[in-house]
Chain A
Amino acid sequence: MRYLGMVAAAISALNAALGAVFAWLSLGIVVVCFSVVVLRYAFATSFVWMQDLYIWLSGAMFTAVGGFALLRDSHVRVDIFYRPASERRKAWVDLIGSVVFLLPFMFVVIAYSWPFVARSWSFAEGSANVGGMPGLFVLKSFILLFAGAVALQGIAMICRSILILGGRGDLVPRRMRYDELAAAEGAA
């Protein structure tokens, strides 16, 4: 049981770190896109790579923080029965959902994306736009990062469910506790 708590804590820490780092890409999108606008309208110049860059930053951002969003319970749920449910009931829902829906989904994404991403690496694929950004293979790899991070967070959720159902809710890492999440949402 103690190990489950540690696994959940480690995964959560990883996703929290991913979130803290990659969230800044949103500022990057703003800055690069705004620069493109200024260059085009004020200086009548443009660079295809810059037009690629802010789009790619967006794609990298929303995939990289997928697990973090799950950690923070930011993904929309149908609340009617879930919100008023007891912790044990929530634990059951998250256990079943993670095992039956989330992990198979992420498995399929990884299985079908792996050759796709590996191929892109093998010839250092760049932007489809002539004069665009190099390194499309890096952006494509974010699909795997997304699936990996979300799958890990799913495993952390399974750990949480087992702990709660096993009567050891006290071992659930703080940032994953249902009451903490509910409080954070209220403050949002």
Chain B
Amino acid sequence: QDKITWRMVTTWPKNFPGLGVGAQRLADRITAASGGRLSVQVYSAGELVPPLQSLDAVIDGTAEMSHGAAYYWQNKSTALSFFTGVPFGMTARELTAWVRYMGGQELWDEIYDQFGVKGFLSGNTGTQAGGWFREELTGLDDIKGLRFRTPGLGGRVWEKLGATVTNMAGGEIFQALQSGTLDAAEFVGPYNDLALGFYQVAKNYYFPSFVEPGLATELVVDKSKFAELPEDLQAIVEFVCAAEYDQVASDFYANDPRALQTLVNDHGVNVRQFPEEIVQAGAQASKELIQELQDSDDDLTQRTTASFLEALKLLRNRTETIDGTFVAARAQYFDL
């Protein structure tokens, strides 16, 4: 039987904690599970194409797979943001519930059909950190004019709160933060942020990121090449992605708190919660943004928003009344 080799481009650096490692492990698992019949060769960010051109590389046939985050392609369809996560949106568990059981995957397929590709959920960072701030925040007034590096829809939320939001290349963040070109920067969470050394120049680490409550990663495949695969290989790709979603989420869940311990104990980082006023205003701004999506002229964006909101309404009820009350109860009464 023929051996097939596929190229996977990723938006992450090789070995990037959690995400880059996850992409490599996903490739290795497909190769192993198929007994080498489908072997996947990983090209990390910039090796074959610049990181933010990964999806185009698959569409153009330069690669068969791309590992990244769907919201990087929001300029291809605004609706794609929902499959990574939106401000004040779904947690990691809620997102899989929507995608797998409540119509999410169908809409996602419809969006990606236009480009001849198909997406699978392939990982989740869990709720991210809100960012590194040079100064402690006391209220909304501190946000006005704050120079903050935070991309995507989250950036729009902070902009509405009065921050001066900048897009800055990854390599420039540290120096900019250090010199005061930036007052604050947001990246992922402790597991990744520890690596970038922000703790050396900003001591206030704020939680949680209400704009990124659960960043999901995706594996995109060339749809027609995927359809040509024998059924068992198709199933392997799909199952490995499902397994990886959980694996990556567990990796972050275990290692974020460890990294945070290091940051606090060894580097004197102050872990803080955003002041109520900021969270409230953030929620209001997020609402406005999602309403804009709901009122979009684009039919698919409109339908995706509607489906997302409908699912969220049901899911949050479960999360808040069952998980939430339990977590609150455990925090209050149980210490061992």
**CA–CA, A48 to B165, complex, Å?**
8
**CA–CA, A156 to B147, complex, Å?**
51
Is B25 interfacial (CB 8 A cutoff)? no
Known: A44-B145, A116-B60, A119-B59. A128 touches B114 (CB 8 A): no
Is B156 interfacial (CB 8 A cutoff)? yes
- Please name all residues of chain A whose beta carbon is closer than 8 Å to the beta carbon of B145 when the two chains form the complex: 44-45
CB pair A48 B155 closer than 8 Å:
yes
Considering the complex, give the chain B residue whose CB is closest to the CB of A136: B75
**CA–CA, A130 to B293, complex, Å?**
13
CB pair A123 B72 closer than 8 Å:
no
Considering the complex, give the chain A residue whose CB is closest to the CB of B147: A40
Is B173 interfacial (CB 8 A cutoff)? no
CB pair A44 B164 closer than 8 Å:
yes
CB pair B60 A112 closer than 8 Å:
yes
CB pair B147 A128 closer than 8 Å:
no
CB pair B115 A51 closer than 8 Å:
no
Q: How large is the interface on B (under 10, 10 to 19, 20 to 34, 35 or more residues)?
A: 20 to 34
Is A87 interfacial (CB 8 A cutoff)? no
Q: Which listed residue, A44, A45, A51, touches B167 by the CB 8 Å rule?
A: A51
Majority-rule SS of A interface residues: loop
CB pair B167 A129 closer than 8 Å:
yes
- Please name all residues of chain A whose beta carbon is closer than 8 Å to the beta carbon of B114 when the two chains form the complex: 123
Is B151 interfacial (CB 8 A cutoff)? yes
Known: A44-B164, A46-B164, A51-B166. A130 touches B155 (CB 8 A): yes
Interface flags for B162-204 (1: CB within 8 Å of A; 0: not) read 0011110000000000000000000000000000000000000
CB pair A130 B166 closer than 8 Å:
no
Known: A40-B164, A130-B151. A123 touches B56 (CB 8 A): no
Interface flags for B34-68 (1: CB within 8 Å of A; 0: not) read 00000000000000000010001001100000000
Is A59 interfacial (CB 8 A cutoff)? no
Within 8 A of B (CB), among A23-64: 40, 44-46, 48, 51
- Please name all residues of chain A whose beta carbon is closer than 8 Å to the beta carbon of B147 when the two chains form the complex: 40, 44
- Please name all residues of chain B whose beta carbon is closer than 8 Å to the beta carbon of A136 when the two chains form the complex: 75
Interface flags for B110-147 (1: CB within 8 Å of A; 0: not) read 00001100000000000000000000000000001101
Q: How far is the CB of B179 from chain A (nearest CB, A)?
A: 13
CB pair A130 B56 closer than 8 Å:
no
**CA–CA, A127 to B77, complex, Å?**
11
CB pair A46 B166 closer than 8 Å:
yes
CB pair A131 B156 closer than 8 Å:
yes
- Please name all residues of chain B whose beta carbon is closer than 8 Å to the beta carbon of A51 when the two chains form the complex: 166-167
Q: How far is the CB of B188 from chain A (nearest CB, A)?
A: 18
Those 9 A-B pairs whose CB atoms lie nearest each other, nearest first? A44-B145, A46-B164, A126-B75, A128-B75, A130-B152, A129-B167, A130-B156, A125-B75, A130-B153
Q: A46-B164, A130-B152 are in contact. List 18 more A-B contacts (CB 8 A).
A: A40-B164, A44-B144, A44-B145, A45-B145, A45-B164, A48-B155, A48-B165, A48-B167, A116-B60, A123-B76, A123-B77, A123-B114, A125-B75, A128-B73, A128-B75, A130-B153, A130-B156, A131-B159
9 sampled A-B residue pairs with Cβ under 8 A: A44-B164, A46-B164, A48-B155, A51-B166, A115-B60, A119-B115, A123-B77, A128-B75, A130-B74
